[in-house]
Structure 1
Amino acid sequence: MKLYKTLLYVLMILPALLLQSCLKDQEDIFDTPSSIRMQEVLDNAKKVLTSSEEGWAFDYYPDRNLAYGGYAYTVKFDNQKVTVGSELAPGTFESSLYKLTNDNGPILSFDSYNTLMHYFATPSSAQYEGLDGDFEFIIMEVTDNLITLRGKRTGNTMYMHRLTKSAATYIENVYDICDNIIFSSANGTLGSSEISCAIDVDARQMDITYMNGEKAFVGSGSFIPTETGIHFYTPIELNGATLTDMDYNIDTSTFSGKDSKGNEIILVGIIAEEYTRFKEFEGKYDFNYYYGTLEVTLVPDNDNNCYLIKGLNENYNIVANFVKSKGYLNITSQKVGDSGNQQIWLLGWSADTGYLSWSTECGMYLVKDIKQEGTFNFVTNTYLDTPADSFILNVFNGAPSSTTRVGAATAPWLINDSYQVPYPESIVKK
């Protein structure tokens, strides 16, 4: 009986002894307060960030669904400021403040406005979250040459690589690669098998179709341009192997690489005859449409990847966005001016049906005429089921909607004394 009581006593005090042991171990592991440990993490991050003489290449992925792929940035830090560059505007660098702070984890925040860094995050009336970009990043890992981040908004994993050359040179090299990928499809080989590729250089997505037996499969991925080609956010799966990077040869319009099994991959771009490079649109033209001919000038806006069409009205220019994947200019519904509380818009319009739209996707392309040098034809961009064949100027009481539309524009907003621009046919270089 005495032995039983002794054993019972030992069993009763054993949990307390174990708990004390665990607490002692825990104290040994966490021998400094969490606030001090966090500050040490932030101090180390700042030490590494500011240590790079040339700064860092930043693989930036906006949009939680990777709808735009990735964009190349550079960032160079001092104790208070960061200088940002981007392929969005080669040769342009802008400085602003940054901070390292604790918000349920170590955070790198670009907390003062920077045109480049906040490009994808800046909201507008049409997009309250902008283009779903990040400017605050959770610091996941810091090493001397690589910093791993995660966007607070998107959750996308992003990387900073230590630069060993100037930020300007790095951006120029990336831009040169991206600017010369001028096709939307390619054919080639994966080892001894034939494959094909569809690439959207605007959305930065690639689909590679391959055969496995008699069945066709597609490997898809979002990519970011690099100095030598492209890098996939997540490796593409191809016939039991993966593909992470591809080099690009500008002279031959050829992608090349090797999958995880060592199979060589070659893709040769198919460039459409009507493809036009951005710089080739610049110049003076005759604008031909139903009411006659007007002289216009196409002026490049490199920073915004578009052209300004000057000469149709002295009070405003019309914006034509460059569609890189097609080599077209795209003229869509757009605001051209304000008059008090009213907005004046150029709208995509069907002169045949009377349909008009203030959607900024509705409009017409300008496409090279391969049979007539220097001529670009207007072609509907087939927005929805009611494609535009013309343009029309309308007035709205505030933002465009069916309830705010007033009707036809009047002077001084007219083009050739009319609010209608019916059946534009072509522009011909002078």
Structure 2
Amino acid sequence: MRKYLSSLLLLCATLTWQSCLHENTTVFEQSAIERIETAAQQTQQVLESSPNGWLLRYYAGQGYSGPAYSILMKFTKGHATVLSDYDPDKTTTAAYSIAKDQGVVLSFDSYNEALHQFSRVWEGSGARGIEGDYEFMVLSTSNDTIRLRGKKWKNDMELIRLPETTDWKSYITNIYNLQEQLTTQFFALQLGQDTLTQATLNPQLRRLSFTIDNYSYDAPFTFAPNGIELLRPVTLKGKKYTSFTWQKESKSFVNDELSLGLIIPKSYRKRDEWIGDWRLNCNAFSLSKAVNTRRFPVVLHILKYSERQPDLFEANLTFNGQTYGPLNMVYDPAVGTIKLPGGQILADKSGKYPGGILLTPGIIKTGTLVQEPEIGVTFKWNPDQNKADVEYDETTQGKIDAFMGIGINYQQQPMLDEKGNPVVPILIANIRDVSPVKQ
């Protein structure tokens, strides 16, 4: 009996093993390498099958912490043509490849400026830049949608087939025109006639955030020609809202009963309104001697902004009766403020300082010079006082409270006095506010 049972069990096990072998043969007709090769060929075929290309909703920053962009791509004979709403005037073409690395990888391994600019580090972008990818794992492929994941920063994205009727230039231009209408980052979130809260919709960072009681929302969005597309839906009263259409007349983004209406606070100052002469209410010293600011007022002359970079202003500085420049100042259209960053070299027409004067942020109490990029002072309009209040940047060494102008020689080195200390012809400390100079 035992022999009979043993034989029966052995027979069943053999049949089961053969059945499993048969099933495995059916499921895996190709090896893993062959399956990846087939998927790679299919991916490239689908990529190049769209005559008008694709829309990539691109998300930067680990965990979607950075900005988002709408990028148009067309794949032809191993090359990708790219145009993004980050730089609407620049279309670039470079080689791409479909790599096989434990799966299918779409790689822009040849430098394509329109895309690679998101992965590089530039001044003021931090040690890792905005954390953008240029290599993407292909998660799935269909005729109209290719799901991707950034290989380094792991953000999921989608390539969406563009209709043949979509004109690239019009698509990006309409986004640019929409952005120009977003004069602040402040919006009233309304459901029907009820105002729920004030939201922040930053057109530069491409991010929407707000809090309603215990519900907080913070996520990036991409621009479309007629509105915005959220990475994650807003959920209110059981309903999800993912996209919003811009209504120019009401200056609001709308989805059914939910809307985001543009708010212009009293402290907001338009770009053109900063142009003019501004007197600094501050303490001033030159070569360790106090400057009589009543007799010799410290004045910022904000002259004009660049046509190509409208948020970048050119300015001069009058100090102790002499005018130095040029200076760059940076306008923030989201909040209507203007900033004077340090680290700039002012030309000296007197010839005393052959290399110019390096305007460096500093901390008076500790005598510290701050070398961190983009550190400076921001001016925010105060309509009740008819002046601009001052906000100093916080640094790893403390909050700055001064600008020290250090004389530079021909070798671009600091000039030293007889005691070996840097020569400081300009010291602007404790700026309390700035007011427009009456003409």
Instruction: Report the TM-score, using the length of structure 2 for normalisation.
Output: 0.77
SS class of match (2:183): coil
- The residue aligned with 1:297 is 303
Q: Separation in 2 of the partners of 1:28 and 1:218?
A: 49
- Contact persistence 1:58–1:158 (CA under 8 A): yes
Deviation at 1:109, TM superposition (A): 0.6
- Contact persistence 2:206–2:221 (CA under 8 A): yes
After the TM superposition, which of the residue ranges 193-202 and 112-121 deviates more from structure 2? 193-202
Question: What amino acid sits opposite 2:434 in the alignment?
Answer: E
Q: Separation in 2 of the partners of 1:365 and 1:387?
A: 13
- The residue aligned with 2:260 is 267
Q: How does 1:169-248 map to 2 (within 5 A)?
A: 169-191=170-192, 193-201=194-202, 202-210=204-212, 217-248=215-246
- The residue aligned with 1:379 is 390
- Contact persistence 2:207–2:219 (CA under 8 A): yes
Query: Please, which of 48, 51, 59 is the counterpart of residue 50 of structure 1?
Result: 48
Deviation at 1:133, TM superposition (A): 0.8
- The residue aligned with 2:130 is 131
After the TM superposition, which of the residue ranges 36-45 and 152-161 deviates more from structure 2? 36-45
Which digits, 9 at most, give the CA deviation of each residue in 1:388-421, with x for residues without a partner? 55422348999xxxxxxx96467xxxxxxx3435
Deviation at 1:310, TM superposition (A): 5.1
Q: Separation in 1 of the partners of 2:18 and 2:438?
A: 87
Which digits, 9 at most, give the CA deviation of each residue in 1:7-42, with x for residues without a partner? 311212322332222112211222223323222211
Change (3 A) 1:395 1:295: closer
- The residue aligned with 1:21 is 19
- The residue aligned with 1:391 is 403
- The residue aligned with 1:144 is 143
Deviation at 1:350, TM superposition (A): 5.8
Change (3 A) 1:220 1:112: same
Q: How does 1:273-312 map to 2 (within 5 A)?
A: 273-278=266-271, 280=272, 285-286=276-277, 288-289=279-280, 290=293, 291-292=296-297, 293=299, 297-300=303-306, 302=308, 306-309=311-314, 311=316
Which digits, 9 at most, give the CA deviation of each residue in 1:237-291, with x for residues without a partner? 3233322112222342212114xxxxx112322112343455x3796x4464555
Deviation at 1:47, TM superposition (A): 1.7
Q: Verify: 1:358 aligned to 2:384, yes or no.
A: no
Q: Separation in 1 of the partners of 2:300 and 2:258?
A: 50
Change (3 A) 1:189 1:286: closer
Q: Separation in 1 of the partners of 2:84 and 2:324?
A: 32
Change (3 A) 1:287 1:389: farther
- The residue aligned with 1:60 is 58
Deviation at 1:163, TM superposition (A): 2.0
- Contact persistence 2:315–2:328 (CA under 8 A): no
- Contact persistence 1:55–1:75 (CA under 8 A): yes
SS class of match (2:114): coil
- Contact persistence 1:380–1:388 (CA under 8 A): no
Question: What amino acid sits opposite 1:363 in the alignment?
Answer: G
Change (3 A) 1:409 1:75: farther
Which digits, 9 at most, give the CA deviation of each residue in 1:112-140, with x for residues without a partner? 22222112211358744322111100111
- Contact persistence 1:59–1:71 (CA under 8 A): yes
Instruction: Report the TM-score, using the length of structure 1 for normalisation.
Output: 0.78
Change (3 A) 1:79 1:343: farther
Query: Please, which of 321, 334, 339 is the counterpart of residue 330 of structure 1?
Result: 339
Deviation at 1:79, TM superposition (A): 1.2
- Contact persistence 2:73–2:83 (CA under 8 A): yes
Deviation at 1:195, TM superposition (A): 0.7
How many residue pairs align between the two structures? 396
